[in-house]
Amino acid sequence: MTFGEKLKNARKEAGLSQEQFAEKLSVSRSAIAKWETDKGMPDISNLKAMSQLLNVSVDYLLDEGERLSFNETKEPIDLSEYTKSGNCRDRKDAVCLAKYGDADAIYPLVRTKKLSKKEWLLDFVAGPGFLQMTDSLNNTSGYYLVEIRNKQLLVEVTSDFIISNELSTKVDPGKFELGSNRFKKATYRLI
């Protein structure tokens, strides 16, 4: 979703017309129309005012293609304190299960990097799969989609932290994209 689409949706959810919104921001209605059609961008002071007025974060407005609500929690962990058992295939599974044992579902995810056109061309020249392999060696986190009380969380377990982000829109656990990452459901479930 583009900045303009997010702005328009947030304005409508706030119950404001373009005229009312423009008046509250002290700008012209045509400026709002221009921003909502992605033909221009507001300055930082207008972005801050919009975010407060519409009750959304500036990050949400600016981060095109993201589904995160920026409701992030990050907690330190000691991976050595967890042991795999039951459906857990490794210690990172055990961390996620210990944290979200009351979830409705926990889907382990397989993450791959979404390649840009330049990266795809470089990967083709270097050898198909080379960049994906390099990326997977550099990122050893465990990823999970947690469904709990009508919410979905994208959970990342690193060797030092468990990081949870609430998704702003529902995704299909089977396959979805988020920023420069593609996720697909692993062949097993924790819950």
Cα 128 to Cα 132: distance, rounded to the nearest angstrom:
9
The pLDDT, as a whole number, for residue 62 is 76
Cα 93 to Cα 35: distance, rounded to the nearest angstrom:
43
The pLDDT, as a whole number, for residue 63 is 67
Q: Are 66 and 56 in contact (CB under 8 A)?
A: no
Other C-beta atoms within 10 Å of 135: how many? 16
The pLDDT, as a whole number, for residue 73 is 87
The pLDDT, as a whole number, for residue 22 is 94
The pLDDT, as a whole number, for residue 167 is 86
Q: Under CATH, what is the fold of the domain 3-62?
A: 434 Repressor (Amino-terminal Domain) (1.10.260)
The pLDDT, as a whole number, for residue 83 is 93
Summarised one tens digit per residue, pLDDT across range 89-138 is: 999 999 999 999 999 999 999 998 887 777 777 777 777 777 667 767 77
3-state secondary structure of 88: coil
- Can you list the residues of the chain whose pLDDT is less than 70? 1, 63-71, 131-132, 135
Q: Report how far apart, in Å, the C-alpha atoms of 55 and of each of 3, 68, 182 are.
A: 15, 15, 29
Cα 36 to Cα 17: distance, rounded to the nearest angstrom:
12
Question: Domain residue spans in the chain?
Answer: 3-62, 68-185
Q: Are 26 and 32 in contact (CB under 8 A)?
A: no
Q: Are 73 and 164 in contact (CB under 8 A)?
A: yes
The pLDDT, as a whole number, for residue 66 is 53
The pLDDT, as a whole number, for residue 68 is 52
